[in-house]
Amino acid sequence: MRSLAVFAGLALLGAMAFTIFSFSAAPSEQPVAQAEPFTETLQERLKRLPGDYRGWAELASQYVDQARITGDPSYYTKAEGAIATAAKLRAGDDAVLTGQAALAAGRHEFADAVRLAECAIRANPYGAAAYGVLADAKTQLGDLRGAQRAVEEMMGLRPGVAAFARASYAAELRGDLAGARKYLELAESDAWSPADVAYARYYQGELALHSGDLTTAADRYAKALQVYPAYPSALAGQARTAALAGRLAEALALYDTVVERLPLPQYLIEQGETRLKAGQTPDWTLLKAQRKLFQAAGVRDDLTWAEFEADHGDPALAVKHARAEYARNPNLVAADALAWALFKAGKPAEALPYAKKATATGWRNPLLTYHRAKIEQALGRSVTVDAGFDPTLPALARFS
Q: Kindly give, in sequence order, each residue whose CB lies less than 8 Å from that of residue 292, ignoring residues fewer than 6 positions away.
A: none
Q: How far apart are CA 268 and CA 270, in angstroms?
A: 5
Q: Give me the pLDDT at residue 23, please.
A: 27
Q: Give me the pLDDT at residue 352, please.
A: 98
User: Is 170 in a helix, a strand, or coil?
Assistant: helix
Mean pLDDT (the chain, rounded): 88
Q: Give me the pLDDT at residue 399, please.
A: 55
Q: Give me the pLDDT at residue 2, please.
A: 53
Q: Kindly give, in sequence order, each residue whose CB lies less than 8 Å from that of residue 236, ignoring residues fewer than 6 positions away.
A: 254, 255, 258, 267, 270, 400
Rg of the chain over Cα atoms, rounded to whole angstroms, equals 22
Region 87-94 average pLDDT: 95
How do residues 91-136 score in pLDDT, each as one tens digit?
999 999 999 999 999 999 999 999 999 999 999 999 999 999 999 9
Cα–Cα distances in angstroms (integers) from residue 232 to residues 60, 163, 221, 225, 263, in the given order: 23, 23, 10, 9, 10
How do residues 230-268 score in pLDDT, each as one tens digit?
899 999 999 999 999 999 999 999 999 999 998 999 999
Q: Give me the pLDDT at residue 86, please.
A: 95
Q: Kindly give, in sequence order, each residue whose CB lies less than 8 Å from that of residue 328, ignoring residues fewer than 6 positions away.
A: 108, 110, 111, 300, 302
pLDDT at 228 over 90: yes
Q: Give me the pLDDT at residue 30, please.
A: 42
CA 104 to chain centre: 14
Judge whether 71 and 264 are in contact, CB under 8 Å: yes
- pTM equals 0.85
